[in-house]
């Protein structure tokens, strides 16, 4: 096929990968803004290379005209989660969306592949808008934990190095490593609650500090330097205490002070007009 034709065929997939990546990243942001734990930790995407598409077609005896239906992972999205439990949540999110239609699910976590590969795959139809109108194209979403991703990335590189014929002694090591990842994921799940609590309080503290700094920043225009210096010193003193309740109390007091200055400033303007 002409190179130009490949470009034309793959272009809608480029768009789908970009859009899907933005959408999943936005989901992470939405969780963060609402102070919620996000079951999605990281999102990446790629369009399959032409040589990888051709290899798959050769291996599976797929004809050129069948390519877009049968090579389901031309558009590929990878979602990394912290815990195995998060994977189900991500699948539920995908199923509940009106812009993604699930074609098939492959649970290689319950049914690990012989290689030791574990991941949850969801094939979706996703509509994109082109000059010729709306087109539904396929995308493969791979959902896995950080541990599963570590294993499959290493194994994928070895497959590439040994051209899919990984020597037995390395295969055995990989199988052992896959078992170790299962144990690791299980161990991590037992402390999931603790980790989530720790991450949540870190998020809450970050947003509290950012609110306080915003308020102080706004006070630069309204209050005098000496007063501001005192407020800043008080903030650093309270921050050092490492006590969330104290920070919250300081935020409330600061809000009252800021409100007072704002009211004064409106009054002041009123007199001048």
Instruction: Give me the residues that bind ligand 0O2 (CB under 6 A), please.
Output: 48, 52, 56, 73, 106, 113, 115, 117, 121, 152, 155-156
**At closest approach, how far in Å is the CB of 11 from ligand 0O2?**
19
Q: Please state, in angstroms and rounded to a whole number, the distance separating the CA atoms of residues 261 and 268.
A: 10
Nearer to ligand 0O2, 4 or 111 (CB): 111
**At closest approach, how far in Å is the CB of 139 from ligand 0O2?**
12
Residue 2 bears catalytic tag: no
**Cα 171 versus chain centre, distance:** 31
If DSSP codes are grouped into helix, strand and coil, which group holds residue 205? helix
Strand-pair partners of 101: 125
Q: What is the CA radius of gyration of the chain?
A: 26
Nearer to ligand 0O2, 77 or 121 (CB): 121
Nearer to ligand 0O2, 7 or 156 (CB): 156
**Cα 149 versus chain centre, distance:** 14
**Cα 210 versus chain centre, distance:** 22
**At closest approach, how far in Å is the CB of 5 from ligand 0O2?**
21
Nearer to ligand 0O2, 150 or 239 (CB): 150
Could you tell me where the DSSP H helices lie in the chain?
A: 3-33, 50-60, 67-70, 84-96, 146-161, 168-190, 192-222, 225-241, 244-272
Catalytic residue among 66, 140, 194, 234: 140
**At closest approach, how far in Å is the CB of 185 from ligand 0O2?**
17
- CA separation, residue 258 to residues 41, 144, 208, 226, 249 (Å): 36, 46, 16, 15, 14
Nearer to ligand 0O2, 25 or 107 (CB): 107
**Residue (of 117, 70, 120) closest to 95 by Cα position:** 120
**At closest approach, how far in Å is the CB of 152 from ligand 0O2?**
4
Q: Could you list the active site residues?
A: 140
């Amino acid at each position: 096929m002409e190179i130009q034709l490949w470009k034309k065929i793959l272009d809608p997939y480029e768009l789908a990968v970009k859009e899907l990546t933005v959408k999943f990243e936005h989901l992470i942001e939405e969780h963060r803004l609402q102070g919620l734990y996000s079951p999605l930790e990281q999102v990446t995407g790629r369009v399959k290379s032409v040589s990888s598409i051709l290899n798959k077609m050769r291996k599976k005896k797929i004809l050129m005209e069948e390519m877009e239906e049968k090579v389901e992972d031309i558009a590929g999205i990878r979602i990394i989660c912290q815990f195995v439990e998060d994977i189900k949540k991500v699948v539920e999110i995908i199923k509940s969306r009106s812009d993604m239609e699930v074609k098939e699910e492959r649970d290689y976590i319950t049914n690990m592949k012989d290689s030791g590969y574990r991941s949850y795959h969801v094939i979706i139809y996703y509509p994109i808008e082109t000059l010729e109108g709306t087109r539904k194209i396929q995308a493969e979403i791979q959902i896995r934990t950080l541990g599963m991703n570590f294993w499959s990335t290493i194994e994928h590189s070895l497959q590439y190095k040994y051209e899919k014929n990984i020597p037995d002694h390395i295969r055995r090591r990989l199988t052992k490593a896959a078992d170790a990842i299962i144990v690791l994921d299980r161990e991590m799940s037992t402390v999931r609650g603790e980790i989530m609590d720790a991450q949540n309080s870190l998020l809450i503290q970050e947003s509290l500090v950012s609110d306080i700094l915003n308020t102080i920043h706004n006070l630069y225009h309204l209050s005098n330097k000496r007063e501001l210096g005192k407020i800043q010193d008080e903030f650093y003193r309270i921050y050092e205490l490492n006590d969330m309740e104290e920070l919250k109390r300081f935020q409330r007091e600061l809000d009252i002070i800021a409100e007072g200055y704002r009211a004064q400033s409106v009054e002041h303007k009123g007199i001048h007009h």
